[in-house]
Copies of this chain bind each other. A is one copy, B any other.
Amino acid sequence: MDIIKPRTLSGFMELLPGKQIQFERMTEILRRTYASYGFAPLDTPVIEDAQILLAKGGGETEKQIYRFQKGDSDLALRFDLTVPLAKYVALHCNDLAFPFRRFQISKVYRGERAQRGRFREFYQADIDIIGDGKLDILNEAEIPAIIYNVFTGFGLKRFQIRVNNRKILNGFYAMMELSEKSGDIMRTVDKLDKIGAAKVKVILMDDCGLTDTQADEILKFIAITGTNAEVLAALEGYAGRNEIFDLGLAELKAVTANLAAFGVPEENFAVDLTIARGLDYYTGTVYETTLLDHPEIGSVCSGGRYDNLAGYYIEKALPGVGISIGLTRLFYVLDEQGLLNPALPSAPADALVLPMLSDPAAAIALAQTLRSYGLKVQLYGEQKKFKQKMTYANKLGVPYAVLLGEDEVAEGVCSVKNMATGEQVKLTPAEAAAWIKEGLSANNGPVILEK
């Protein structure tokens, strides 16, 4: 038979079992956290009508999209989870209760130029809250609590949720009579972290055409930092000059007012006036999240408030707020930087039952019994020498091997070996289950280790 050399497409993550188990641990934390805030799971198709998916059209998206014909149909793979959500809400709006809260952790597709750490197929882990006509600011205030619980759920402490409000920015540029240039200015200001204030000022003056005074005014504004109270106090100094600004400031106050009630420590939260998150879509609170010791990763969880989710599909105002985590890239970076906790079990089973018997019935029954105590148990069925069996157990990385020979059967016990310490004890099945569970629970550390 002719052999075709197997390969996985470049830009597509395909993990070995141990890594996959670590990845699943992160998705499980996301699912549990999102669900704990009353978000419904959603699962929209990977393939959509291309006309519908590209209703907004334009630019980079259209170039990157996987689009193809099947029969007469013009089809495309989803490139994010927001457009399919917009379609879903427009299509099913009579059947949904608003506010409608959904999470979706699914793969999306972008045929980008392949490069290290960039993926063509990747998971997004999104939540959105969609209102019918209106949506209270309390929903925007709740988002940082969810982000906080996700990242502490991963085991992290040193991260910061950075929040701004687009109305504050729009109002500020309106005060400055720079609304028409606000897009260019925000794109420039966005580079502050990378190129520094001096270079930003040069671009603001040379490319955006601002005066020296205007550029200084902008740099002064975005340099406002400090505690939430200090930033809010500084912003008060601009109040009363523009309605949009004042509205944004009121919203920002509402978002920061209840951080303590939401359980978000002040050190994990910051008002950051440099954050803008794109130009058109977001209209209120915007969010970014950075790992303090790894600023090079950029924002690991971003989103914001928007006024019109599904304007391309329905004549109904559907405001919302949402965030997205690029899970595949996050996992890739954490793994590359050695931040995934290597102490957590990465074997598919908690225990491997190794029969050393002519009749396997007792080993089969033992494995069933251990499972009944909630353990993940693999029964090893191959006729191999003892040494080969232990080699397999080691390669699998299974934390416990359970040996059953004629002697153990006669005594009503099994020999349980802790593969890490080498300790081996004879126990009844019930005692074995308890001993293994105790050992496993000691290994129950965070998914991500801060260094």
- Taking Cβ atoms with an 8 Å cutoff, the residues of A that contact B are 1, 3-9, 12-17, 20-21, 23-24, 35-49, 51-52, 55, 66, 68-71, 73, 75, 86-88, 90-92, 95-99, 101-102, 107, 109, 111, 120-121, 131, 134-139, 141-142, 145, 257-258, 260-263, 310-315, 348-349, 352, 360-362, 364-365, 368, 371, 375-383, 392, 395-396
Residue among A3, A375, A377 facing the most chain B CB atoms (10 A cut-off): A3
Q: Nearest-CB distance from A430 to chain B (Å)?
A: 17
Contact B348 A101 (CB under 8 A): yes
Contact A88 B14 (CB under 8 A): yes
How far does the alpha carbon of A9 sit from the alpha carbon of B352 in the complex, in Å? 45
Other-chain residue from B36, B310, B312 in contact with A377 (beta carbon distance below 8 A) = B36
A-B contact pairs, 23 of them (CB 8 A): A4-B55, A6-B52, A6-B310, A8-B88, A9-B49, A12-B45, A14-B43, A14-B88, A20-B41, A21-B40, A24-B41, A39-B348, A40-B348, A46-B121, A66-B68, A97-B395, A99-B380, A101-B348, A137-B381, A138-B364, A142-B381, A258-B364, A261-B361
In the complex, chain B residues whose CB is within 8 Å of the CB of A66 = 47, 68, 70, 75
How far does the alpha carbon of A136 sit from the alpha carbon of B363 in the complex, in Å? 15
Contact A15 B43 (CB under 8 A): yes
How far does the alpha carbon of A12 sit from the alpha carbon of B70 in the complex, in Å? 14
In the complex, chain B residues whose CB is within 8 Å of the CB of A395 = 97
In the complex, chain B residues whose CB is within 8 Å of the CB of A13 = 45
Nearest to A366 among chain B residues (CB) is B261
Residue among A101, A261, A263 facing the most chain B CB atoms (10 A cut-off): A261
Q: Nearest-CB distance from A139 to chain B (Å)?
A: 5
- Further contacts, 6 of them, CB under 8 A, given A1-B311, A136-B381, A137-B381: A5-B313, A14-B88, A20-B42, A36-B377, A260-B361, A261-B360
Contact A4 B40 (CB under 8 A): no
Contact A378 B262 (CB under 8 A): no
Q: Nearest-CB distance from A143 to chain B (Å)?
A: 11
Contact A47 B109 (CB under 8 A): yes
Nearest to A18 among chain B residues (CB) is B40
Contact B5 A45 (CB under 8 A): no
Nearest to A391 among chain B residues (CB) is B97
Q: Nearest-CB distance from A129 to chain B (Å)?
A: 9
How far does the alpha carbon of A40 sit from the alpha carbon of B15 in the complex, in Å? 11
How far does the alpha carbon of A86 sit from the alpha carbon of B376 in the complex, in Å? 25
In the complex, chain B residues whose CB is within 8 Å of the CB of A379 = 37-38, 138, 142
How far does the alpha carbon of A22 sit from the alpha carbon of B174 in the complex, in Å? 50
Known: A37-B378, A47-B12. A7 touches B52 (CB 8 A): yes
Nearest to A310 among chain B residues (CB) is B6
Q: Nearest-CB distance from A412 to chain B (Å)?
A: 16
How far does the alpha carbon of A302 sit from the alpha carbon of B120 in the complex, in Å? 33
Contact A261 B368 (CB under 8 A): yes
Contact B97 A49 (CB under 8 A): no
Nearest to A353 among chain B residues (CB) is B38
Nearest to A378 among chain B residues (CB) is B38
Nearest to A17 among chain B residues (CB) is B40
In the complex, chain B residues whose CB is within 8 Å of the CB of A139 = 381
Contact B8 A262 (CB under 8 A): no
Known: A20-B41, A111-B70, A376-B36. A99 touches B4 (CB 8 A): no
Known: A95-B16, A262-B368, A365-B261. A9 touches B314 (CB 8 A): no
Nearest to A104 among chain B residues (CB) is B20
Q: Nearest-CB distance from A88 to chain B (Å)?
A: 7
Contact B382 A131 (CB under 8 A): yes
Known: A41-B21, A111-B71, A131-B382. A313 touches B6 (CB 8 A): yes
